[in-house]
Amino acid sequence: MEEIGKEYFDDLVSRLLFQQSSNTESCFMMHDLVNDLTKFIFGEFCFKLEIDDSGVITRKTRHFSYIRTRFDAFKKFNVSYEAKGLQTFLGFDLSPWTWNNVSAMMIDDLLSTFKCLRVLSFSTYRNMKELPKSVGNLKHLRYLNLSYTSIERLPNSLCTLYNLQTLLLSKCKSLTKLPTKTWRLVNLRHLDIVETKLEEMPLHMSKLKNLRSLTTFVVSKHNRSNIKELGELLHLSGALSILNLQNVQHARDAMEGHDKDSSENEINVLEHLCPHSKLESLTIENYGGTRFPKWLQDCSFSNMVYIRLANCKYCYSWPPLGDLPNLKKLFVEGFHVVSHVDREFYRGGSSAVKPFRSLEILSFKDMPEWQEWFLFEGKDEDEGGVSIISKSFA
């Protein structure tokens, strides 16, 4: 459904009903004439409360949005309680002081009143620290956005929202755990927990069979959230960060997820986390192994355009990244034992094809022991060989 929705939206953009913002690539604008036409067509079903707007919301209103400022925002919002059948509630924040006076009781009253909501966003309500239990009354809810709030916990009643498809918790920096029964959200398709403080994933994440995007998976220190559960989430796509891999006690768990705490164990864990060959971007941070996995030496990652290897302090060499035909950006930092860069960096086999043929950005940083760099000069057209120049950085 996401692909179909994107096709519809792209079609509207091509017809100039939406125009991409010049300031933010992910934002789109609607021309005033299109906006006026839309409001005329939908009549009382849609209502947008703007600054100093004294419009009237009726029982017919189903979709409501408003721009929040620090000037009496909640008083103006009270007029919306007439719309008992409201399905969409969206607020847009223009001020960092907005809604500091909104209490949990006010939010509870809102959730208890609008039980037909499909879309609900409290995003950027910075002073919001908890979500009332009454959220469990929203049985029709498909989309819930709590990003950028100060939410500290989520009620267990959230797990009764069986129709929920999207749960956005991005940058909820006070949130340390998800409800224990999150696995009951069987229709969940998108879970965004970027830059939260989650200490572990809840049990039975593998039961969320419909997940299309999962931004982060946090491996538990107590082996409660087992990484092998990832192996059963067959529809995942997009970006995924796997945090605290050092907590994986057995390499076979990593293999199923597609206490030694030693370098060899870290090598085995990463070896069994071989990603899909169509991967486009890869970041490995704080890796404790002395060498990289064999799959990173495989030139089959033909779609790879971005690689960042950071704080891999014990690795003494790099994989032959020059074999990746479409690699455009390569960032290397925090390699404390690497003393030289040789032919291995350019290619793993005997191919005469020029390495790094698509590279645009190459960055090295924090490499205190680096002394020599054997530079690739070019290939000999007759012999098909590679010329190397030895450079000293001692």
Tokens encoding 54: 């004294």
Residue 59, pLDDT score: 85
Instruction: Give residue-wise pLDDT tens across range 240-297.
Output: 998 888 777 665 566 565 544 457 778 888 888 888 888 999 999 999 888 888 888 7
Once rounded to an integer, what is the mean pLDDT over residues 140-162?
A: 94
As a three-state string, the secondary structure of the chain is CHHHHHHHHHHHHHCCCCEECCCCCCCEECCHHHHHHHHHHHHHHEEEECCCCCCCCCCCCCEEEEEECCCCHHHHHHHHHHCCCCCEEEEEECCCCCCCCCCHHHHHHHHHHCCCCCEEECCCCCCCCECCHHHHHCCCCCEEECCCCCCCECCHHHHHCCCCCEEECCCCCCCCCCCCCHHHCCCCCEEECCCCCCCCCCCCHHHCCCCCEECEEECCCCCCCCHHHHHHCCCCCCCCEEECHHHCCCHHHHHHCCCCCCHHHHHHHHHCCCCCCCCCEEEEECCCCCCCCHHHHCCCCCCCCEEEEECCCCCCCCCCHHHCCCCCEEEEECCCCCCEECHHHCCCCCCCCCCCCCCCEEEEECCCCCCEEEEEEEECCCCCCEEEEEEECC
Tokens encoding 369: 């022991």
Higher pLDDT, 288 or 348: 288
Q: Does pLDDT of 171 surpass 80? A: yes
Distance CA 124, CA 66 (A): 14
Name the average pLDDT for the chain. Answer: 82
| Domain segments of the chain as ranges | 1-30, 278-394
Q: Does pLDDT of 82 surpass 70? A: yes
pTM: 0.77
Instruction: Give residue-wise pLDDT tens across range 176-210.
Output: 999 999 999 999 999 999 999 999 999 899 999 99
Question: Quick check: 361 and 329 in contact, CB under 8 A?
Answer: yes
Instruction: Give residue-wise pLDDT tens across range 22-47.
Output: 888 888 988 888 888 888 888 888 88
Once rounded to an integer, what is the mean pLDDT over residues 335-363?
A: 80
Question: Quick check: 77 and 49 in contact, CB under 8 A?
Answer: yes
Q: Cα dist. 96→68, 103, 334 in Å?
A: 10, 17, 37
Q: Does pLDDT of 145 surpass 50? A: yes
Question: Quick check: 186 and 210 in contact, CB under 8 A?
Answer: yes
Instruction: Give residue-wise pLDDT tens across range 87-137.
Output: 998 876 655 444 445 667 778 888 888 899 999 998 877 788 889 999 999
